[in-house]
Amino acid sequence: MRHRLHLFALVAVVALALAACGGDDASDAAGGTTTAATGPTETTASGSTATGASGTVPEGSASVMTADSDFGEIVVDAEGRTLYLFDPDEGGKSTCYDDCEASWPPLLVDGSPSGDGVDASLLGTTERKDGSTQVTLDGWPLYYFAGDAAPGDTNGQGVGEVWHVVAPDGTAITDAPA
């Protein structure tokens, strides 16, 4: 019974994410009115704290690193939370706003991001519509998934066939788990 409850919760989260970001093009993913992120807290270098679905998380400079997963080596933040890329993002610009952003909060930074296990020359930033700065890896803006409850979760992999965990070289991992 407990397993069924967890499975039901996961299906509900995936359905919500598909509704927020499912669509045939990037404009469908942009959605309507601005909504506060309900997922993991966005990371900045302000030194303050913020609260997201994962609780109160200390903020610091955005740092990406690698971790082993069922998909091989993937990119995570300093707390081990999985980072994702979104296929419709092109030219280093984010297309995930409003309802999409509620399910897929961006990894934000004040200043320059740092990395461990990733080529520092691949790290960069892009300005979002609200003026905040989002971390990129090889030109791809990086995001969290609100359906990931704990470090190491990869529940966003393959959602809508447009969200993917990221390899250390900045490419999307589209394969099934190893």
Q: What values do phi and psi take at 14, rounded to 5? A: -65, -40
How many angstroms from the chain centroid is the CA of residue 115? 16
Q: Is residue 95 a part of any domain in this protein?
A: yes
If phi over 0 gives left and psi between -120 and 50 gives alpha, with beta otherwise, what is residue 164?
A: beta
pLDDT confidence of residue 128? 97
Q: Is residue 86 a part of any domain in this protein?
A: yes
Longest C-alpha distance within the chain, in Å?
48
Cα 115 from Cα 113, distance rounded (Å): 7
Domain that holds residue 59: 2-173
Q: Is residue 76 a part of any domain in this protein?
A: yes
**Structural tokens at position 9:** 């919760």
pLDDT confidence of residue 125? 96
pLDDT confidence of residue 29? 37
Cα dist from 89 to 70, 116, 126, whole Å: 25, 24, 11
pLDDT confidence of residue 175? 85
Total of domains in the chain: 1
Q: Is residue 87 a part of any domain in this protein?
A: yes
Q: Is residue 26 a part of any domain in this protein?
A: yes
Tens of each residue's pLDDT in the chain, 178 residues: 443 434 344 444 444 444 444 443 333 333 322 222 223 333 333 222 233 333 333 344 789 999 999 999 999 999 999 999 999 998 899 999 999 999 999 999 999 999 999 999 999 999 999 999 999 999 999 999 999 999 999 999 999 999 999 999 999 999 888 7
Cα dist from 10 to 14, 16, 127, 161, 166, whole Å: 6, 10, 32, 17, 21
**102 three-state secondary structure:** helix
Q: Is residue 62 a part of any domain in this protein?
A: yes
| Residues 25, 32, 22, 148, Cα dihedral to 10° | 130
Q: Is residue 178 a part of any domain in this protein?
A: no
Q: Is residue 8 a part of any domain in this protein?
A: yes
pLDDT confidence of residue 75? 98
> What's the predicted TM-score (pTM) here?
0.71
pLDDT confidence of residue 178? 72
